[in-house]
Amino acid sequence: MMRKRKKSGCLYALLALLTSMLVVCLGLMACAFFIFQGEDVKEQVMDQFAEKEKIPFQQIENVQENIARKYYYEQLYQEEQTVYLEILQGIQENNAQIYVHSSDAKRTNLLFQYVLRDYPEIFWCDGTTTATSYGGDEEYTVLEPVYLYDAEERDERQGQIDAASAECLAGIKADASDYEKILYVYEYIVDTVEYDLDAEDNQNICSVFVGRRSVCAGYSKATQYLLEQMGIFCTYVTGKTESGQSHAWNLVLCGGDYYYVDTTWGDPVFQEQEGEEVKKNLDYISYDYMCCDDEELLRTHIPDADLKLPECTKMDCNYYVVNGMYYDHYDSGEAMAVMNNMISKKGSPVVFKFSNEDLYEEAHKDIFENVIHEAAQSLAQMYGLSQVKYSYIDDKKLNKIVIYWEYEE
């Protein structure tokens, strides 16, 4: 009996030993599996048992209502239009972080710029942002714009802008033509704003409507802001000047055709800072860029390469064309008649804008060698002067000659 128990005991011990060894082996296998497969197991467990963190994408609510005729928005595919609207909504709400459906931080930053180009009324954002993209099952980008004003300051500034723009808009008839509205805004901004590189808020419309001092960004955004309120299509264009300086101007629709408008370059204070000869004639507005075509603009302006712009092929609505100061031929007698007519009215200046360089060169030689001297003699005889003073702007680049007569000795 004892042997049986002992044998039985040995058998049980043997079985126990084998069972232990099997458990150890299985345990080692399990450990090995965990060591080499631990991350996958962890991810599977998270996917199955842990609720995923929900990405707080920006909700789009009311911004679609005013999206019609927004130039940059209309250039985008539908997916990017959604991102654009998310950015717009976030900026309108002054959100510190804007989560959007985009995996490309660089492209998202450009869409941010497109929003600001389409909406000149967004003055509370300084135009800079950081964009960070995240991967994973659902890719997204977080924008963090830089804001200039909190809600209270923003409302205060908005009230000042509304009052100033309302005063401006009250000066133009509702039934005015496209050309009349564009010209009105062009002259209004030139007459009421000083070009100042050190102006506060000079990258937004506050500088124009509140500070009355700005640079090209403020001039162009204010032009866009006012014309849109008048029902005129106008968008914001960025690029460089021929000297390589960053610059901004506008694209407008006038009478069904596209034209460029550069209000900044109409300002005599800007012209003086650029070295043009206008120190004695700071009341002179230049109208070369009051509705001009591609050929005229591209002599001095270079649009950014990322812009898709329509062709501007007409000069019909250019100020000089409309007012009979644009010449596609030259006649010495006609030039003399124009000067005498201006002198008889004690008017100034006389402007000759020529359609091409060859015509300008032909006119330039005759005007300065002959016509201007004959006109000076006419002025002396007409007003009994012993000597006649005059000054002029000779702009070879823009094929333009401007003469200022003085009617007192």
CATH of the domain at 229: 3.10.620
Q: Give CA–CA dist 346/338, Å, rounded.
A: 13
Distances (CA, A) of 315 to 103, 113, 158, 320: 43, 30, 36, 9
Same domain flag for 368 and 399: yes
Same domain flag for 124 and 165: no
Single out the residue in 264, 287, 317 at which a domain terminates: 317
* Of 335, 303, 330, nearest in space to 236 by CA: 303
pLDDT of residue 249: 98
At residue 321, what is the residue type? V
N-term to C-term CA, the chain: 149
Please say whether the beta carbons of 224 and 209 come within 8 A.
no
pLDDT of residue 267: 86
Same domain flag for 267 and 381: no
pLDDT of residue 41: 35
Q: Give CA–CA dist 351/284, Å, rounded.
A: 11
What are the tens digits of pLDDT across the range 205-262?
A: 999 999 999 999 999 999 999 999 999 999 999 999 999 999 999 999 999 999 999 9
Spell out the long-range contacts of 269-272 with Cβ–Cβ below 8 A and sequence spacing 24 or more.
269/194, 269/195, 270/195
Same domain flag for 98 and 204: no
Give Cβ neighbours of residue 151 (< 8 Å, ≥ 6 apart): 94
Find the domain containing 264 and state its range. Answer: 150-317
Single out the residue in 122, 148, 174 at which a domain terminates: 148
Single out the residue in 283, 317, 351 at which a domain terminates: 317
Q: Give CA–CA dist 352/371, Å, rounded.
A: 13
Same domain flag for 243 and 386: no
Cα 30 versus chain centre, distance: 63
HSE value, Cβ hemisphere, 13 Å, CA-based, for 373: 5
pLDDT of residue 282: 52
Q: Is residue 35 part of a domain?
A: no
Q: Is residue 177 part of a domain?
A: yes
pLDDT of residue 175: 93
Say how many domains are in the chain: 3
Kindly report the length of the chain.
Answer: 409
pLDDT of residue 66: 78
pLDDT of residue 27: 41
Q: Is residue 28 part of a domain?
A: no
The crossing angle, in degrees rounded to 10, of helices 332-344 and 372-383 is 30
Distances (CA, A) of 108 to 16, 105, 393, 405: 67, 5, 46, 55
HSE value, Cβ hemisphere, 13 Å, CA-based, for 359: 15
At residue 400, what is the residue type? K
Same domain flag for 207 and 342: no
Q: Give CA–CA dist 195/189, Å, rounded.
A: 10
Same domain flag for 82 and 114: yes
What are the tens digits of pLDDT across the range 171-214?
A: 999 899 999 999 999 999 999 999 999 999 999 999 999 999 99
Taking the CA atoms of 126, 130, 133 and 138 in sequence, report the sign of the dihedral they define: negative
Which residues, given as ranges, of the chain have pLDDT below 50? 1-50, 272-276, 278-280
- Tell whether omega for the bond before 268 is within 30 degrees of 0, i.e. cis: no
pLDDT of residue 270: 54
**Structure tokens, 22:** 């099997």
Q: Is residue 25 part of a domain?
A: no
CATH of the domain at 407: 3.30.1370
Q: Is residue 6 part of a domain?
A: no
Same domain flag for 294 and 198: yes
Q: Give CA–CA dist 235/227, Å, rounded.
A: 9
Q: Is residue 41 part of a domain?
A: no
Q: Is residue 341 part of a domain?
A: yes
pLDDT of residue 17: 36
pLDDT of residue 269: 65
Q: Is residue 343 part of a domain?
A: yes
Q: Give CA–CA dist 248/255, Å, rounded.
A: 23
Same domain flag for 170 and 297: yes
Same domain flag for 230 and 272: yes
Same domain flag for 110 and 190: no
Please say whether the beta carbons of 227 and 182 come within 8 A.
yes
Same domain flag for 290 and 193: yes
pLDDT of residue 52: 62
